Structure 1
């Protein structure tokens, strides 16, 4: 069944609130095996809303709206839906009774405009609202379904799970299930990553593959449709194995795992202590490592060495080197990593130096240039990195690369 989601409300178009409802409904509908083919947002305008809903009904079997069921004159979704299906509006007795009960419990007097929330299209199937007042409705005509859900996320989610999901099961059954798995990568750009698995992408049918850029790197999303979750997961596993054979060294996590959690587990499991010396990231790497409970077991300490004097005094970075090459160079990053190992007597040290911007860049050392060093008893490794984006994005990407390098350093040397 093809589904279109229509979120209503001028506040969405003005950017005053983030449209989380569309994301939630899309994910849940796909989980249940429904194909969400379009998402549309429309403001609180009668003519435009009617046009959008009619167009949605022309290309989808089920149109689900959220928003516009409240008590004000701008809440018009039910009225427009009823007009499209040729239905009159009528007070719904059970919804009114529940509204009066709810107001009484809160010791609040309801006003006449609240009746708009419990006045529904005639002949509609009603979804009672257990987290609010406005009831949801289902309208059907010639095999097309128009479903109105409330806009507040807590009300929408509860109504979706409590009422819409059983309705969809009863009417259509869940003949298929759609399952996705995300592989998180670092170290390969989107174009290079695509080149490595291009034949798999071109040959895709079920499962499907998609590459998506995220601040933390490029992700590979594998999506399979099957009769059961077990079948879908098996299809995904077969495709994942093919991908890992090509680019496995660049994959650091799956689904919602984040890099600091993975690195923290590696450090804990191998009884490794780490320390950080940060310049342009200003302690962000240490913050990410300490965001995990129990970080005292693997983080010895951290120092922000923004000035050259501090680099020299605490990390023993050579003054002549700083004068000759400046603070942003590979040698300084390596010496920072080596110096912080000595300072805290840790097993591994990480040093970061760069230009986060938006000012401070030059022709030879542009904004986004960051050198990262990792040092320990197996030697010192340094990478030159060029990150794009805002100041915060450059700093975050630098810490992401530092965590990735730390992971690689441990994995490469752990068997030695």
Structure 2
């Protein structure tokens, strides 16, 4: 089944509010096995709304509306849909009683325009509003299904979940198979390289399907299939996941939509592993990412933000000849990254010490280019690894990607340990 979402409201076109309803409904409909092919936004204008309805009729089996069913003159959704279908409107007695009781209980006089919120389209099913006043409607006309919902998310979401979804399951989705998905999470690889590695699977996809999505420092691949049961769906998704894992075993870190720092914190907490951090250019961002995860108190022991050379020497015992002098490697160097990781691990007495030092920009530092970053990982009774990064982007991008890079390297180290 193909669906179109029509969001009604001039405030959406002006950018005064974000169309979060479309995102919510797209997720909900996908879970029902309904493909959302179009999302339309229309202002509070009857003729333009009717034009949008006529267009949607030609390309969608299900049309959902959000907004435009309140008491004011610019609330036109039910009127426009009724006109488009050649139907009338009537006052639903249950909805009208609900509106009248609302004002009566508050001792407030009800203005006449509030009766509009109880109007429903002829031969439709009223969708009563548990969180507001305006009643929604659901109906079928010829081969097209229509669902009209309120605009405020606090009203729209419960109406869809408790009223519209059961109606769709009973009247429209008797033969539809639900959609099942897995979110595969990758780190240490960019979207373009990941796509190149998976290009044969992407070109050959049919069922299940796969689609990559990029965020800062991480890539997600969604794999999806329709099936009559969860067991059948999972069998297909697990088989595709295994193919992807065999191609990218060093980058696939989770098969649920969780950040890498959560995987790390949970892993270390279960294994009794502790960590500490020494940060220069990231300014505490690495520590914040770890401590944002519940349960991190058993993992994260402490850390130091050491922007200045003085603090590197005073708090972390970095040798002065690493930082100052004509022959010194400088604060942005392998030597300093190693010293920071080893010293913070020793001082805090943690199992791992992590360090970041680099040039986040916008200007050069120590005659070294923006985006040059060194990250270090020191392990108790083990080796210290230092990695050089050459990052692009603005200051924030460089800092974020530095944090993601060291988290990825720590994850690889834990995988290596087993």
Q: Which of 339, 342, 347 is 1:338 aligned to?
A: 342
Partner of 2:91: 91
1:261 CA displacement: 1.8
* Higher mean C-alpha deviation, range 327-336 or range 346-355: 327-336
1:307 CA displacement: 0.7
1:398 CA displacement: 2.1
Partner of 2:135: 135
**Mapped partners of 2:384, 2:16: distance in 1:** 49
- TM-score, structure 1 as length reference: 0.93
Partner of 1:17: 17
1:256 CA displacement: 2.4
CA contact (8 A) 2:190 2:217 kept: no
1:13-46 per-residue CA deviation (whole Å, 9 max, x = no partner) reads 2322222211111111111111211112222222
Q: Which of 348, 352, 367 is 2:352 aligned to?
A: 348
The answer as to 2:192 corresponding to 1:191 is yes
* Higher mean C-alpha deviation, range 218-227 or range 267-276: 267-276
Partner of 2:377: 374
Partner of 1:208: 209
Match runs of 1:32-181 below 5 Å: 32-172=32-172, 173-181=174-182
1:291-339 per-residue CA deviation (whole Å, 9 max, x = no partner) reads 2333332222111001111111112223232233432233322221112
**Mapped partners of 1:409, 1:65: distance in 2:** 50
Partner of 1:280: 281
CA contact (8 A) 1:289 1:295 kept: yes
Partner of 1:401: 405
Tell me the secondary structure at the aligned position of residue 249 of structure 1: coil
**Mapped partners of 1:211, 1:88: distance in 2:** 46
CA contact (8 A) 2:4 2:62 kept: yes
Match runs of 1:296-335 below 5 Å: 296-323=297-324, 324-335=328-339
**Mapped partners of 2:412, 2:48: distance in 1:** 54
Q: Specify whether residues 137 and 262 from structure 1 end up closer, same or farther in structure 2 by C-alpha distance, changes over 3 A only.
A: same
Q: Specify whether residues 121 and 363 from structure 1 end up closer, same or farther in structure 2 by C-alpha distance, changes over 3 A only.
A: farther
**Mapped partners of 2:49, 2:230: distance in 1:** 37
Count of residue pairs the alignment pairs up: 413
Partner of 1:293: 294
Q: Specify whether residues 80 and 230 from structure 1 end up closer, same or farther in structure 2 by C-alpha distance, changes over 3 A only.
A: same
Q: Specify whether residues 81 and 300 from structure 1 end up closer, same or farther in structure 2 by C-alpha distance, changes over 3 A only.
A: same
**Mapped partners of 2:366, 2:138: distance in 1:** 62
Tell me the secondary structure at the aligned position of residue 349 of structure 1: strand
1:362 CA displacement: 6.8
Partner of 1:411: 415
1:395 CA displacement: 2.4
1:389 CA displacement: 4.4
Q: Specify whether residues 337 and 363 from structure 1 end up closer, same or farther in structure 2 by C-alpha distance, changes over 3 A only.
A: closer
1:208-250 per-residue CA deviation (whole Å, 9 max, x = no partner) reads 0111111241111101111122211111000001110110210
Tell me the secondary structure at the aligned position of residue 249 of structure 2: helix
**Mapped partners of 1:243, 1:383: distance in 2:** 26
**Mapped partners of 2:306, 2:50: distance in 1:** 60
**Mapped partners of 1:313, 1:25: distance in 2:** 56
**Mapped partners of 2:14, 2:359: distance in 1:** 35
Q: Specify whether residues 167 and 388 from structure 1 end up closer, same or farther in structure 2 by C-alpha distance, changes over 3 A only.
A: farther
Give structure 2 stretches of 5+ with no counterpart.
Answer: none
* Higher mean C-alpha deviation, range 2-11 or range 199-208: 2-11
1:78-109 per-residue CA deviation (whole Å, 9 max, x = no partner) reads 11111111123332222111111122334433
Tell me the secondary structure at the aligned position of residue 90 of structure 2: strand
**Mapped partners of 2:278, 2:107: distance in 1:** 58
1:281 CA displacement: 1.6
CA contact (8 A) 2:332 2:359 kept: yes
1:364 CA displacement: 6.6
The answer as to 2:252 corresponding to 1:251 is yes
RMSD: 2.0
Tell me the secondary structure at the aligned position of residue 154 of structure 1: helix
CA contact (8 A) 2:185 2:257 kept: no
**Mapped partners of 2:203, 2:71: distance in 1:** 51
